[in-house]
Amino acid sequence: MTARRPLVRVGGRIRQLPAGDTLPGVREQLTAARTYYVRTDGSDSNTGLANSAGSAFLTIQKAVDVAAAFDNNNFDITILVGPGTYAAGVVLREHVGGGTIHVRGLNADQTSTIISVNNGSCFRGVETRYSKYKATYLTLQTTGTAGYPILLEGGKNYLTIDQINYAAAGRTHMYIASGSILNARAATYTISGAVDSGWHVECVDQATFLGLLCNVTLTGSPSFGSGGYARAARNSLAQFHASTFTGSATGQRYSTDTGSGIFVNGAGSSYLPGSTAGSATTPGWYA
């Protein structure tokens, strides 16, 4: 049976909304997966629907805003980001429909597409009500003290990552807060840059990092400044078990306290990268 379009009153008569028309405040519902393109020579006045200078968007934010405006109807929306450096970060928007908005480097490698932000975050989620996002095949780097490569705050954010190169950062590479979830399960990623102040992974206030079954390569023995590799605080959980770490790092291996845990499935106190011993302050735990 063909689905009926919404009923509207026109000139005192009730009829179906004509095809192609929309209602104010009503989201368009997708009937198939969709792809948008972003290029350094694009324009945010374009449609974003083709990989050309005359069609692609200029900023990742424009593509995310357009994608988040749909009822995605359980279909995924992929944003393919062309090679080059993008100086503007991305604010994740709440979206509906159950699908995933996937921001992906076009060349399917970790170095061609770079998001490099000064005093801001590459990806920032604030109360997106667990709208599903994914980021892959990107280099993330920040300068200054006011941002993070990934910042999930304000509660109820959900981001999956894979094939990321974490380059130099002013603050923690992955800061997860207030009930947010960062899913890195079975991810392959690289840590190529130091953190000036903070940690590689930091979970606070009932946040969760799912870092099991990962393949992590550290190049150049990156330093984690005043922090270390992993921190969990205030009823948070960070999982790292069954992962492989290649290379070394400078800084504390882990820190956990205030009812939080770091789970390595009994792999031992020297399992996580670092140059100094970790600490677990009761009721925090490391196991």
Cβ distance 56 to 83 under 8 Å? no
Look at residue 174 and tell me whether its pLDDT is greater than 70: yes
Contacts of 204 (CB under 8 A, 6+ apart): 175, 176, 177, 178, 231, 232, 233, 234, 236
Contacts of 54 (CB under 8 A, 6+ apart): 46
Q: Which residue has the tokens 């009994």?
A: 266
Task: Please state the pTM of the whole predicted model.
Answer: 0.92
Domain coordinates in residue numbering, the chain: 33-286
Strand partners, 29: 71
What fold is seen in the domain 33-286?
Pectate Lyase C-like (2.160.20)
For the chain, first and last CA: distance in Å?
56
Supply the pLDDT for residue 54. Answer: 99
19 to 6, 24, 49: CA distances (angstroms):
10, 15, 21
107, two tokens:
């060349």
- What is the average pLDDT across 93-104? 98
pLDDT band at 1 (very low <50, low <70, confident <90, very high): very low
